[in-house]
Structure 1
Amino acid sequence: MTAFDWQRMLMDEFPVAFLGEVAFRALFAFVIVFLFLKISGRRGVRQLSLFELVVILTLGSAAGDVSFYEDVPLLPITAVFATLLLLYRLTVLIMSHSVRFSDWMEGKPVTIIRDGLYELHSLNRLNISADEFFMELRVQGVEHLGQVRLGILETDGNVSLFYYASEVVKPGLSVLPPEQRPTYKQVPASAIYACSRCGHIQSIESHQHAVCPRCENTQWSTALNNPRPR
Structure 2
Amino acid sequence: MKAFDLHRMVLDKVPFEFLWEVALRSLYTFVLVFLFLKITGRRGVRQMSLFEVLIILTLGSAAGDVAFYDDVPMLPVLVVFITLAVLYRLVMWLMSHSERLEDLLEGKPIVIVENGELAWEKLHEENMTEFEFFMELRGQSIEHLGQIRLAIMENNGQISVYYFPDKEVKPGLCILPEGCSERYTSVPETGDYVCVRCSKIVALEAGEKRSCARCANPEWSKASRAIRVT
**TM interval, short-chain normalised:** 0.7 to 0.9
1:162-181: per-residue Cα shift (whole Å, max 9, x none)?
11111211111011111223
Partner of 1:41: none
For structure 1, the 5+ residue unaligned runs are: 1-12, 16-44
1:117-128 correspondence runs (5 A)? 117-128=117-128
The equivalences for 1:67-78 within 5 A come to: 67-78=67-78
Number of the residue aligned with 1:194: 194
- Structure 1 residues 159, 14: closer, same or farther in 2, change over 3 A? farther
Equivalent position of 2:60 in the other structure: 60
- Which residue identity is paired with 1:161? V
Q: Report deviation, 1:85.
A: 1.5
Structure 1 distance, partners of 2:93, 2:173, is 43
Change (3 A) 1:227 1:14: farther
Structure 2 distance, partners of 1:213, 1:166, is: 30
Percentage of pairs with the same residue: 48
Task: Work out whether 1:161 is the aligned partner of 2:165.
Answer: no
**SS of 1:47's equivalent?**
coil
Shift of 1:211: 4.1
Cα offset, 1:103, TM superposition: 1.1
Residue 203 of structure 1: CA displacement?
A: 3.1
Alignment-derived partner of residue 141 in structure 2: 141
Match of 1:219, as an amino acid?
E
- What RMSD over aligned residues (CA atoms) do the two structures have, in Å? 2.4
CA apart distance, 1:58: 0.8
SS at match of 1:46: coil
2:126 is aligned with what amino acid?
A: L
CA distance in 2, matches of 1:152, 1:160: 5
Q: What secondary structure does 2:46 align onto?
A: helix
1:209: which partner in 2? Answer: 209
TM-score calculated relative to the size of structure 2: 0.74
CA distance in 2 between counterparts of 1:97 and 1:182 reads: 52
Per-residue CA deviation, residues 145-169 of structure 1 (Å, 9 max, x unaligned), is 0011111111111111111111211
* d(CA) in 2 for partners of 1:88, 1:60: 15
Which residue of the partner structure matches residue 179 of structure 1?
A: 179
